[in-house]
Amino acid sequence: MNAVDLIVKDHRELQRMFEELRSDASTRPTLAPVMSTLLFAHSRAEESEVYPAARAAGIEEDVEHSQEEHLAADQLAERLTGLDPESGEFGDVLGELVEAVTHHLEEEEETVLPQMRERMSAEELDKLGRRFLAARAEHLGEQPGDMTKAELEQQARNIDLDGASTMSKDELKEELEEHADL
């Protein structure tokens, strides 16, 4: 149940899906929605459970950067879901998404996750792992456009964005889009 191990396991599964999506275009109509669903649920679970715990452990700067990368991945995933899997544009956006997410996974595994192992006890990581799995399960089946204002506010807290609670959902979404690390 170690949170770091669970996160890395998801990363490997996403990378496997990326490889299949890029190498076999015939899988895109069925595999792309599955990949998008896992990516979305994984991201929301990190944002709601893992990133606040990492910030509390003193990993603020790396969490902010990771959140900004999530914002970019959300934008790309949302674009991808609206495209015909057989179109050339789908392949282009898929390439952008794979590149952005792969970069994020590598950075997270080099910075945030090792620091969590150093600064958090095994018991804390196990409890966090259970919360991560519960949050991920809660979000399975959702897509980037399904985000609630509370989830957007959590993203804003993760990047230390002031005034989020006074913004409308649309204003907050727009403000967060400006912070995406594209």
Residue 1: pLDDT band with limits 50, 70, 90: confident
User: Would you give the distance in Å from CA 105 to the centre of its chain?
Assistant: 9
What is the pLDDT at residue 52?
96
Q: What CA–CA distance (Å, rounded) separates 182 from 68?
A: 9
The two three-digit tokens of residue 166, written as one number: 């006074």
> Looking at residue 157, what is its pLDDT?
93
Residue 105 in this model has a pLDDT that exceeds 80: yes
pLDDT at residue 138 above 70?
yes
pLDDT of 106 over the 80 cut: yes
Average pLDDT over residues 7-28: 97
Per the model's pLDDT, the better-predicted residue between 144 and 158 turns out to be: 158
Kindly state the tokens that stand for 86.
Answer: 């057989």
pLDDT band at 176 (very low <50, low <70, confident <90, very high): very high
The pLDDT-based confidence of 145 (bands split at 50, 70, 90) is: confident
| Residue range 22-77, pLDDT digits in tens | 999 999 999 999 999 999 999 999 999 999 999 999 998 899 999 999 999 999 99
Contact in structure between 54 and 45 (CB atoms under 8 Å):
no
Number of Cβ within a 10 Å radius of residue 134: 12
In three-state secondary structure terms, 80 is: helix
What residue type is 118 in one-letter code? E
Confidence of residue 182 (pLDDT cuts 50, 70, 90): low
Overall pTM > 0.85:
yes
Query: At residue 136, what is the residue type?
Result: R
Report the percent of the chain where pLDDT is more than 70: 99
**Pairwise CA distance, residues 90 & 81, whole Å:** 9
Domain edges within the chain: 3-178
